[in-house]
Copies of this chain bind each other. A is one copy, B any other.
Amino acid sequence: MVSLPGLTPIDPTSTAFLLAENRHMPMHVGGLQLFERPKGAGPDYVRSMFEHMRDTAEVSPLFLKHPHRSARTAGALVWRNDAHFDIEHHLRHSALPQPGRVRELLELVGRLHSTRLAWERPLWEMHVIEGLADGRIGLYTKLHHALVDGVSAMRLMASGLSTDPDQREMPAPFALQPRKPRAVDDAAAALAHPASTASRLLTELPADALRSALAITADAAGMPGALVRTLRKGLRNETSAVSLAAPRTIFNQSITGARRFAAQDWEVERLQAVSRATGTTINDVVLAMCSGAMRTYLGELDALPDASLVSMVPVSLKVKQAGDPNPDGGNAIGSVMVRLATDVADPAERLSTIHRSMKDGKEALSSMTPTQIVAMSAIGMAPSIVVPALRLQGMVRPPFNLIISNVPGPRSAQYWNGSKLVGAYPASIPINGMALNITCTSYNGNMAFGLTGCRRAVPRLQRLLTHLDDELAALESAAGVA
């Protein structure tokens, strides 16, 4: 670690995310938020929104630092404040071509998500997007994984909002704000998912704590043998939580730098009805939707493997064993390998198989030692580092086919200066060997799906949205709640 005036060290995990990046694999997470204009907003509303953000007097330190290395730092990467900070490079005003449908919006977000962040500048962009035919406003945000992980990014975006539609003078999400403990608590409380306390998925654990856990076995050089050895050791006690036998699919190939993004949401109430009628969890229903959609999608491409696809699913769980690495006795993150039952034709059977696989996996996980859990977590949180490392270690089959995350979001309606947030969709990081990522997030009664794929490896990504919709209908029908 380097200590020089004006420079701050970069923790090993962030360093690893920076070093893992290349032109085929930009390492940023993103999010698309959709806002409704407040009543009485004039034709200049979007521009004034943009200008209000642009004129931010003081920007938060997170949004001012960039990675730097030089002879002075002996070649090590450090954070340095950008001496030439240029807000107009980061905050941009964009527009959609006619007819301004969601299709044009997703196309633009896919393109914006494809371009890599320059290291000479703070690692973020925010795009205010006008031109949707229905008058809604898009806000696409891009943040390097070295700054925040996906969960923290969602929180960061949510923390700048208010439940009060009449609040005004609200700063931009990247503005320096006096810490308001109450607001932070509100945001944290809002993030607790309503209907899934029993089987809560991701994650009350602060990202920093996880980073530390990960750093236990990582060293500054990236992601070395030590972690991989721990992983292999943990994985060798094979349980149903662990899979090193996923079939090869089109998702598990080399990727290019171009991205497609697809997003849509469904009422949580519909998923809840299926979950109640079948004795499964909402997350099981989310996974079953993904499973059925991928079965149809791969079938159409004549690329459906005989064996079931395996998804890595991050979960949160109480760690109750001695030697708990969490002194607060809080939650820890684990990863369950779920058989998606893509080899099963019947939707009801698929759902029940997923439910069992998930249940087994979580039980197995809860009997693992903290070290094993940390090892599993590492796979989930840093696949871009771990998956290539496994390959270097001679594991040539993909340990899983894709990652499906489900991150709880705010329960109640949120506003920014009177504009109501009507949708929030996460965009994540496809990596070499994992060309598709699905991240879901709940907000105000809806479950939003964000699909991020390599533009070449995952053709016609948009079709997955139709298939997701069809699959939810099929599940409703099978559960008798249609």
| A111 in complex: contacting residue of B92, B256, B455, CB < 8 Å | B92
Q: Does A86 contact B (CB under 8 A)?
A: yes
Binary CB contact string for chain A from 253 to 273 against chain B (1 if under 8 A, 0 otherwise): 000111000000000000000
User: Can you list 24 pairs linking A and B with CB atoms under 8 Å apart?
Assistant: A23-B116, A43-B98, A44-B98, A46-B97, A46-B98, A47-B97, A47-B99, A50-B97, A89-B258, A89-B455, A92-B111, A93-B97, A93-B104, A95-B95, A95-B96, A95-B97, A95-B98, A95-B131, A97-B130, A97-B131, A98-B130, A120-B257, A121-B256, A121-B258
Q: Does A84 contact B (CB under 8 A)?
A: yes
| Residue pair B47, A98 in contact (C-beta under 8 Å) | yes
Q: Does A94 contact B (CB under 8 A)?
A: yes
Q: Which residue of B lies closest to A111 (CB)?
A: B92
Bound-state CA distance A200–B108 (Å) is 44
| Residue pair B86, A456 in contact (C-beta under 8 Å) | yes
| Residue pair B86, A120 in contact (C-beta under 8 Å) | no
Q: What residues of chain B lie closer than 8 Å to A93, measured between beta carbons?
A: 97, 104
Q: Does A118 contact B (CB under 8 A)?
A: yes
| Residue pair A256, B118 in contact (C-beta under 8 Å) | yes
Q: Does A163 contact B (CB under 8 A)?
A: no
Chain B nearest CB: distance from A121 CB in Å?
7
| Residue pair A97, B94 in contact (C-beta under 8 Å) | yes
Binary CB contact string for chain A from 117 to 152 against chain B (1 if under 8 A, 0 otherwise): 010110000000011000000000000000000000
Q: Does A353 contact B (CB under 8 A)?
A: no
Q: What residues of chain B lie closer than 8 Å to A94, measured between beta carbons?
A: 97
| Residue pair B118, A23 in contact (C-beta under 8 Å) | yes
Sort chain A's interface into a size bin: 20 to 34
Bound-state CA distance A92–B97 (Å) is 10
Bound-state CA distance A93–B94 (Å) is 13
Bound-state CA distance A108–B257 (Å) is 21
Q: Does A115 contact B (CB under 8 A)?
A: yes
Interface residues of A in 28-56 (CB under 8 A from B): 43-44, 46-47, 50
CB-CB under 8 A for A455 and B86, given A43-B98, A115-B115, A116-B23: yes
Bound-state CA distance A455–B82 (Å) is 14
Q: Which residue of B lies closest to A257 (CB)?
A: B118
Q: What residues of chain B lie closer than 8 Å to A257, measured between beta carbons?
A: 118, 120
6 pairs of A and B residues whose beta carbons are closest in the complex: A95-B95, A95-B97, A93-B97, A120-B256, A115-B115, A118-B257
Interface residues of A in 398-447 (CB under 8 A from B): none
Q: What residues of chain B lie closer than 8 Å to A256, measured between beta carbons?
A: 118, 120-121
Chain B nearest CB: distance from A167 CB in Å?
26
Q: Which residue of B lies closest to A88 (CB)?
A: B107
Chain B nearest CB: distance from A195 CB in Å?
40
Binary CB contact string for chain A from 71 to 102 against chain B (1 if under 8 A, 0 otherwise): 00000000000001010010011111111000
Bound-state CA distance A456–B89 (Å) is 10
Q: What residues of chain B lie closer than 8 Å to A95, measured between beta carbons?
A: 95-98, 131
Contacts A95-B96, A120-B456 supplied; 5 other A-B pairs, CB < 8 Å: A23-B23, A50-B97, A93-B97, A97-B131, A98-B130
